[in-house]
Amino acid sequence: MDSSSETSNNYTEDAQVLDSLLTKVHKIIIEYLNEGQNGTGKTLNYLSPKNLISKISPEVPQNGSGEKGYDETISSGLTCPGGSASNTLALVVARNKYFPYVTEYGLCLSDDEKKEVDYKTPVVFTSIHSHYSVDKAVIMLGIGKRNLIAVKCDESGKMDPDALENAVIKAIKENRRPFFVNATAGTTVLGQFDPLEKIGEICRKYDMWFHIDGSLGGSVMFCENERRVLLKGSELANSFTFNPHKMLGVPLQCSFLLVRDGLDEIRNRVALKANYLFHRSEDMDEDDPSSWDIGDSTVGCGRKPDSLKMWLSWRYYGTEGFSNRVSNALLCANRFSELIKERNDKYELFRYPVSNLVSFWYIPKCLRSTCKPDIFTESQKCYPEELAEVTKKICDLVNSKGEILLDYASVTLHEGETPVRVPEFFRIPFNSPIVDENYLEKIINEIEVCGKEIYGEQ
């Protein structure tokens, strides 16, 4: 790993170059506006987005998001204000596709209307470890939490595809209509990747929209090896949420909803064709500037140009730069887990990291005989609740000192059908490219200093 001084110098230089790049773009935009002004300087002539784009030559590397990749000539995407919004838009699009009458009737239909449209209750599936934005979206769209099936995960935190298929079959037998499965690529707490290929096949078999929430882990698409393993099957997905504002470090907020079958998948289900603003017509030549306007495909109207941030960062760091950044995050998580393992009298690693997240407990001396590591073995499935308080107390003290910022989380695992609560553990997401071996040691030291302050002898 780089030494901290070398790394911080590199990044200071990087920041300066990026800053000058931003200044140049700023200048181009001001020129664009000035050029667009007519003689009086009071109004703007319309300059096409294409005209602007020709000035900033936006070549971006093309990268498929699955093992085989989406078809770059067809697939497309839109920026949304965050991963929650991208997931919500995916659900809106899928709902409007499978229940086209909903835009007219809503979901509160009379008995006669239900017969008319052959109404079936819409059902959504997601894993118990998925992000709460899926629950929120289901509530906002009037589908209702009762119709959101939380599919159990295996011991490692991956969605159990057999449990998914059984839940789908059950819903069909109940005369409901399963239509949307959310799989997660990088779960919020454990950083786990659901088995995308199997889930994709189930979606095909039962004709359901396959969405992948890659808000956290989607960025591994920039690392060849991880992409092939962790995102295998993502090419089957109808839509994919990708948050460059997380692991790629693009300034908040920057999130994309990528769609396999092109923007019309979204446009046809969402756009209201408000022609007083959007002048695009079906037969419009793609050279016509109005055809570039994709504004009515999102829930919002006016929006920030979030894609510019992604484009600038990508041009500056390059695919290799992004790849290095993600690899470093994964390496840090692995190295940190090793450091925890080396001190396994004081710590218990909850899970080996799959991506950039490490989950572990600190065990003070007074609890070491009762909260021994073997208590966590697969067969016993007993997680001592006392560790929740230890984690929270140390976390609060570390954070109050202001040197580093820590967080904690808890999860529910399944032993067969029985849910088992795993008490609060430290959850560290590695992301910053300037984190190095020294910094990893510093985190451990801070935890130990605070552990000693609270619990005495180490």
Ligand X SMILES: Cc1ncc(COP(=O)(O)O)c(C=O)c1O
Residues 8 and 30: their CA atoms lie apart, in Å, by 32
Residues 249-278: x/- map of binding to ligand X (CB under 6 A)?
A: ------x-----------------------
Contact in structure between 428 and 404 (CB atoms under 8 Å): no
Q: Which residues contact 54 (CB under 8 A, 6 or more apart)?
A: none
Q: How far is CA 156 from the centre of its chain?
A: 19
3-class secondary-structure state, position 220 = helix
The answer to the question of residue 84 lying near ligand X (CB under 6 A) is: yes
b/e string for 50-88 if b means 16 or more Cβ within 10 A?
eebeeeeeeeeeeebbbbebbeeeebbbbbbbbbbbbbb
**Shortest separation between residue 81's beta carbon and ligand X, angstroms:** 8
Q: Interacting stretch for ligand X, rule CB under 6 A, among 2-10, 107-115, 208-216, 268-276?
A: 208-216
Distance of closest approach, residue 48 Cβ to ligand X, in angstroms: 31
Question: Which C-beta is closer to ligand X: that of 133 or that of 239?
Answer: 133
Instruction: Determine the residue with CB nearest ligand X.
Output: 83
- In the complex with ligand X, the residue whose CB is nearer, 300 or 456, is 300
Q: Which of 215, 297, 355, 391 binds ligand X (CB under 6 A)?
A: 215
CA 297 to chain CA centroid, Å, is: 21
CA distance 338 to 449: 20
Nearer to ligand X, 323 or 356 (CB): 356
Which window, 105-113, 181-189, 272-280, 404-412, contacts ligand X (CB under 6 A)? 181-189
127 is a contact residue toward ligand X (CB under 6 A): no
CB atoms within 10 A of CB 7: 19
Q: Does 7 bind ligand X (CB under 6 A)?
A: no
Considering the rule CB under 6 A, would residue 188 count as an interface residue with ligand X? yes
Question: b vs e for 230-264, b when ≥16 Cβ sit within 10 Å of the residue's Cβ?
Answer: bbbbbbbbbbbbbbbbbbbbbeebbbbbbbbebbe
- Report the C-alpha gap between 332 and 432 in whole angstroms: 10
Site string for ligand X, 283-322 (x = CB under 6 A): ----------------------------------------
Contact set for ligand X, span 8-67 (CB under 6 A): none
- By the criterion CB under 6 A, which residues form the site for ligand X? 82-84, 131, 133, 184, 186, 188, 213, 215-216, 243, 255
